[in-house]
Structure 1
Amino acid sequence: MNKIALTLVCFLMVPALQAAGDANAGKQKAASCFACHGADGNSPSGQYPSLAGQNEKYLVKQMKDFKLGVRTNPIMQGMIAPVSEDDFADIAAYFASQTMKKAPVEEKFLKAGEAIYRGGDAERKVPACIACHGPRGEGLASAGYPAIAGQHPEYTIAQLKAFRDGARTNDPNGMMRGATHLMSDKQMEAVAHYLVGLH
Structure 2
Amino acid sequence: MILVRLLAAALLAAAIPTAGFAQDARRGAELAAPCAQCHGANGRSQTENIPSLAGQPADFITIQMILLREGLRNAPVMSPFAANLPDRDIEDLAAYFATLPPGPPEDRRPRDPALVAAGQALTGPRHCATCHVSDYGGRNQIPRVAAQREEYLVHAMTQYRDGNRAGPDTQMNGAVMGLSNAEIAALAHYLAQRD
Q: What is the TM-score normalised by the length of structure 1?
A: 0.82
Percent identity between matched residues is 35
- Paired residues for 1:1-199 under 5 Å: 15-16=17-18, 18=20, 20-102=22-104, 105-117=111-123, 119-120=124-125, 127-141=126-140, 144-172=141-169, 174-199=170-195
Count the aligned residue pairs: 176
When Rg is computed on C-alpha atoms for both structures, the one with the higher figure is 1
Per-residue deviation, 1:188 = 0.7
Once the two structures are superposed, what CA deviation does each residue of 1:147-178 show, in whole Å capped at 9, x if it has no partner?
A: 11000110000000101111101242x11111
Rounded to whole Å, the distance in 1 between the matches of 2:84 and 2:33 is: 13
Per-residue CA deviations over 1:166-198 (Å, capped at 9, x if unaligned) read 1101242x1111111111111110111111122
Which consecutive aligned stretches of 4+ in structure 1 deviate over 6 angstroms post-superposition?
Answer: none
Question: CA RMSD for the aligned pairs?
Answer: 1.9
Gaps of 5+ in 1: 1-14, 121-126
- Residue 82 of structure 1: how far off its partner (Å): 3.4
CA contact (8 A) 1:105 1:196 kept: no
Which ranges of structure 2 fall in alignment gaps of 5 or more residues?
1-16
Q: Supply the distance in 2 between the matched residues of 1:71 and 1:19 (Cα, whole angstroms).
A: 26
TM-score by length of 2: 0.84
| Contact kept? 1:36, 1:44, Cα under 8 Å | yes
